[in-house]
Amino acid sequence: MSFNELGLSASLLQAVHDTGYTTPTPIQQRAIPAILSGQDVMAAAQTGTGKTAGFTLPLLQRLGGKPPARNQQIRALVLTPTRELAAQVQEAIVVYGKHEKLRTVVVFGGVGINPQIDALQRGCDILVATPGRLLDLHQQKAVSFSDLEILVLDEADRMLDMGFIRDIRKILQLLPKQRQNLMFSATFSDEIRTLAKTICHSPLEIDVAPRNSTVETVEQQVYEVQKDKKLPLLGKLLQETREQVLVFSRTKHGANALVKKLAGFGVDAAAIHGNKSQNQRTKALDDFKNNRVQVLVATDIAARGLDIELLAMVINYDMPQVPEDYVHRIGRTGRAGASGLAVSLVCDEDSDQLRAIERLIRRKINRMSFDAQSLPAPKAVQEPARSSEQSASGQHGRQRPARPRHPGGQQPPRSSSGQPQPGQRQARQDNGGQRSAPAYPRPDNIGQRPAQQPPRQHSSRQPDMRQHGAGFGANASSSPQPGGRSLQGAGQGGRRRGRGHGGGRPQTGGSANPGNELRQGPAPGNRAPRPQAAAEQQPKRPVSGNREGASFGLPAKAASDSLWRSLGDRLRQGKLFRR
């Protein structure tokens, strides 16, 4: 059967002929006529058998010859689990639809969202997207689904494995009920079949190969190796081939570490995984496709969507946790009827995964042997050369620049009093490892306790709160009255007050508040005398008696009692409220 018998238009047949394909694959022979008839399709086929063209060609024909999409509207939606697969689908649409007047947009995460919003403003006929970014665009009201006609889920089982089931259900609630649903994947689990029955309406199930089977053109081999011999064996396999190789690692950190270790065997490698930015992933994949690097180390994110022409070998450095991922991994080679080789390095801890894989594909993989004595040893990778200053000091990273000294090694000029000029410091001189004298002379009694201190005067009586100005109407010079009231302070409204927050200092030489001496500061002998001129020049701050609070030097309860007494005095005298 040829493509002419599938009912495709002349423009699409010309595009297929330009790509060099003449005979459709089994999945294309059965899927294309069913999609053109408008049926819902659920197709399962081996990886590398042309599933992308199986839904792209009829999708282009069904959308062609109709009015273009309106602003912010889309007519067909293709959901993919990974960015690489989305880019591959969009590339296939561009190749096969080069003679069609259809507009295609691809959106995924890892890049700026504003250019994608601008691209969707004019609407598009086909939108290829990952679930997460599509929901972000819908929340920002950049896309609408009211004109949607066709929904395509590519690699639906991978979406479930990656946890996209909730996003898919949210998207399905936004789509119109009347639409055509297409589901394509290399493997269909029971969960996928259950989901398909809720999405599709009486779908046509297409199974062109046994479930979870591998392509016969791919030769599969297993090397049972000890864990410490695993890396040298990988280095030997890569040294013995000149072809490009795709190596799968289980973790992102392991992929980065493997790239560095392969450099010791003289192998140029690049890594691609989820922690890489989109620009880094695109560059690594582009370098590998253009033969600028021999080895591409990837996690299972690359097991879907990597369509590399004539990829000769795939190596499983780490066995996959899910047996179905093995089918997708080795499906990167032997594509479009070409031959390929899939090699797995299995340790004792991977024996369970190997048995699960053999049960899944219903065949026993060939065991290979090797000479452990002939394994190469990795060479030391030369680190980037350091500067002479760093080598001499033995320190890594940035070095603190040396502090500039006075030119000529001379000391800065001094004033007539022998002190350095303002803003200058005296340079230290080398005195045989001893510290030089300080640049600024200091008095001998700095930091020392005076020989004789005036004795502290202690008083057994309680502190006088009126003397410290605790109350609103209190005055330090007024005489105490019975009941703790001061006639002079009450009559003047508390106009004579001390500085600060309501606290005047004792006027006598003795301590008027022995319980708070530590709060008042050190003893007079430890404090330098204050110049009289400076004290006289300092302006006095006016204090309002009505807004003054309790003294910070008094205990909290004493200050509170004085406050209430003062308020009672002012209430009885009628000075708190004005008529």
My answer on whether 243 and 280 are in the same domain is yes
In the chain, the largest separation of any two C-alpha atoms, in whole Å, equals 122
DSSP annotation of 302 reads: G
Number of compact structural domains in the chain: 3
Residue 534 lies in a domain: no
Residue 275 in this model has a pLDDT that exceeds 80: yes
What CATH number corresponds to the domain at position 168?
Answer: 3.40.50.300
In this prediction, residues 298-307 reach a mean pLDDT of: 72
CA distances from 238 to 248, 249, 259, 314, 366 (A): 14, 15, 13, 11, 20
pLDDT band at 125 (very low <50, low <70, confident <90, very high): very high
Question: Is residue 13 domain-shared with residue 83, that is, in the same domain?
Answer: yes
Report pLDDT digits (tens) over 429-456. 444 445 444 444 555 555 555 555 555 5
Model confidence at 123: pLDDT above 80: yes
Mean of the pLDDT values across residues 466-472? 44
Q: Do 364 and 256 fall within a single domain? A: yes
- What are the structure tokens assigned to 371, written together? 């000479």
- The pLDDT, as a whole number, for residue 66 is 86
Provide the angle, in degrees to the nearest 10, between the axes of the packed helices 131-139 and 114-121: 70
Higher pLDDT, 190 or 81: 81
| Rg value, the chain, Cα | 43
* Higher pLDDT among residues 423 and 293, named by residue: 293
Position 5, amino acid: E
**Which of these three, 207, 238, 263, is where a domain ends?**
207
User: Does 105 reside within a domain?
Assistant: yes
pTM: 0.57
DSSP string, 360-390: HHTSPPEEE---GGGPPPPPPPPPPPPPHHH
Looking at the fold, whether 192 and 303 belong to one and the same domain comes out as: no
In a domain, 381, yes or no: no
Alpha-carbon dihedral sign for residues 263, 268, 271, 277: positive
Query: Are 553 and 503 contacting, i.e. CB atoms less than 8 angstroms apart?
Result: yes
Contacts of 237 (CB under 8 A, 6+ apart): 245, 315, 343
* Structural domain range at position 68: 3-207
Same-domain check for residues 184 and 277: no
294 and 201, same structural domain?
Answer: no
In a domain, 138, yes or no: yes
Among 287, 280, 238, 240, residue whose Cα is nearest residue 258: 238
Domain boundary among 145, 175, 207: 207
Is residue 241 domain-shared with residue 186, that is, in the same domain? Answer: no
Asked if residue 322 and residue 264 are part of one domain, the reply reads: yes
* Residue 225 pLDDT exceeds 70: yes
Question: Ramachandran region of residue 94, left (φ > 0), alpha (ψ -120 to 50) or beta?
Answer: alpha
Question: Does 402 fall in a domain?
Answer: no
Instruction: Tell me the per-residue pLDDT of 32-73, one tens digit each, with 9 for 90 and over.
Output: 999 999 999 988 877 777 888 999 999 999 998 888 888 999
Residue 60 lies in a domain: yes
Residue 423 lies in a domain: no
DSSP SS3 for 270: strand
Residues 188 and 226 both lie in one domain:
no
What average pLDDT does range 547-554 have in this prediction?
46
For 173-216, write each residue's pLDDT tens digit: 999 999 999 998 776 777 777 877 788 888 888 887 666 666 67
Q: Distance between CA 515 and CA 142 in Å, rounded?
A: 73
Clarify whether residues 317 and 336 are in a common domain. Answer: yes
Ranges of H-type helices in 331-451: 351-361, 388-393
Could you tell me which of 19, 21, 15, 90 has the C-alpha nearest to residue 52?
Answer: 90
Which uninterrupted H or E stretch holds 315? strand 313-316
State whether 44 and 178 are in the same domain.
Answer: yes
CB 90 within 8 A of CB 106: yes
Q: Does the residue 202 lie in any domain?
A: yes
Q: Which residue among 207, 228, 263 closes a domain?
A: 207
Please give the C-alpha separations between residue 195 and each of 165, 167, 178, 379, 555, in angstroms, as whole numbers.
9, 13, 18, 52, 75
Tokens standing for 353? 């995964």
Same domain, 171 and 203: yes
Whether the pLDDT of residue 257 is over 60: the answer is: yes
